[in-house]
Amino acid sequence: MYLADETWPDLGSYFAEESLALVPLGSTEQHGPHLPEGTDHIIAEGFAREAAERTGYLCTPTINIGVSPHHKQFHGTMWVDPPVFRDYVESFTRNLAYHGIDRVIFVNAHGGNVEHLREVGRRLRDDEVIYAIEWMWNDSIPELVDELFEQNGPHGGPKETAMIQHLRPELVHDDELENARDGGVASVEEAGTEKFGSMTFYDAADNTGNGVLGDQTDATAEKGERMFEAATEQLVNLAEWLDDQPFEDLMPEPHV
């Protein structure tokens, strides 16, 4: 069920019977010369809506601007400051609690959001308002990702390329895959910006001239479909597990 497509009486019936919602989050930021700036939020919404379709759980509209100042040097990148993002997501999630939701999965596809979503989840749990957890698609299937790609690249690499080839192939500039590979670097390690145990970089541009890492020519839509199916299954399993938990068991442990 997609919230924005429903009438309020139909949603009232959902809230009377169910207590879980899926909230897709991503970013709008550069993903090299071959992928759209909406890569992360397209992927997040794809997973959330598919899991909602398979389970009947509620999927909210997508939060498509995230914490992305580390991509600011590249045209079109959008971002909000971390405190603003955290406050917005917390307020958004409290809306759901007002309607009767008491557990949320942040279906996330942008690494820059992770620590902030964890902080929001802690705030809400400490207030005993709602139990909200972050889920990152590639972290749910690490063995498959490693199996499919020799160098998967942490940003704009073959795993994200394959996922968009599967979900929105018309948005992929296939004629730029070699340029993406040759104009970037294979990995942060190869960029040489980790020195003596310190990460000396702050922005993507410190590591790579075109904003991406990995070998994008290793991507195919078929690999994207395999990852999408495997990770969707993980998300469905997580949602069903979470729905089964007594709410009191999800709240903080008492002081010893």
Q: How far apart are CA 129 and CA 50, in angstroms?
A: 27
In this prediction, residue 94 carries a pLDDT of 98
* pLDDT for residue 190 is more than 90: no
Using CA atoms, how far apart are residues 116 and 194, in angstroms rounded to an integer?
A: 24
Q: Domain ranges in the chain?
A: 3-249
**Overall average pLDDT of the 73-90 stretch:** 97
User: Whole-prediction pTM value?
Assistant: 0.95
Spatial separation of the C-alpha atoms in residues 3 and 1, rounded to whole Å:
6
pLDDT at residue 154 above 90?
A: no
| Dist. CA 30–CA 210, nearest whole Å | 9
CA distance 28 to 12: 32
| Strand-pair partners of 244 | none
Instruction: Kindly indicate whether the domain formed by 3-249 is annotated with CATH number 3.90.700.10.
Output: no
**To which H or E segment does residue 35 belong?**
none
